[in-house]
């Protein structure tokens, strides 16, 4: 299984909100009720966790791919054998699943690993179909 994590530019606002909330709760803990300090520590630890390990937004395995997750779009599972066509423009990866509709995934979510994701999608689709059907647009 390959995981692609959310790009930093999308996690930094969440980290900032955690830090602002931690500062407000720390002030309340200092003036109102001291046990709120525990909440301050939890907020700071969660901000550190999001900074160190951004949430995974794509999980690709031999059977399919899960797109989306925390801080992005609603998670969608796409099975490789259900994909009729896949297209890539500069900003999105679009899976056409026939009657099940299309699923568009913004490549900005994975940042600099977007090309790697596109290459892996084409490789996994070719493997699932048993022949080379999809050509990597970057080559």
Give Cβ neighbours of residue 81 (< 8 Å, ≥ 6 apart).
128, 129
What is the residue-level pLDDT of the chain in tens, covering all 139 positions? 899 999 999 999 999 999 999 999 999 999 889 889 999 999 999 999 999 999 999 999 999 999 998 888 899 999 998 998 899 988 999 999 988 889 999 999 999 999 999 999 999 998 887 766 666 665 5
Q: How many domains does the chain have?
A: 2
Q: Is the pTM of this model over 0.75?
A: yes
Which of 10, 32, 52 is the last residue before a domain boundary? 52
Same domain, 44 and 15: yes
Q: What angle do CA 14, 49, 65 make, to 5 degrees?
A: 80
- Its domain, for residue 15, covers 2-52
Residue 137 within any structural domain of the chain: no
Q: Cβ distance 36 to 43 under 8 Å?
A: no
């Amino acid at each position: 299984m390959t995981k692609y994590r959310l790009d930093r530019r999308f996690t930094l606002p969440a980290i900032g909100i955690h830090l602002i909330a931690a500062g407000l709760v720390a002030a309340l803990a200092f003036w109102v009720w001291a046990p709120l300090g525990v909440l301050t520590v939890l907020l700071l630890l969660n901000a550190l966790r999001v900074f160190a390990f951004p949430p995974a937004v794509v999980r690709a395995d031999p059977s399919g791919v899960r797109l989306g997750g925390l801080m992005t779009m609603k998670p969608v599972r796409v099975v490789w054998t259900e994909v009729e066509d896949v297209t890539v423009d500069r900003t999105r990866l679009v899976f056409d699943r026939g009657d099940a509709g299309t699923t568009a995934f913004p490549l900005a979510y994975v940042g600099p690993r977007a090309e790697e994701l596109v290459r892996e999608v084409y490789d996994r689709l070719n493997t699932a179909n048993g022949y080379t059907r999809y050509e990597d647009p970057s080559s």
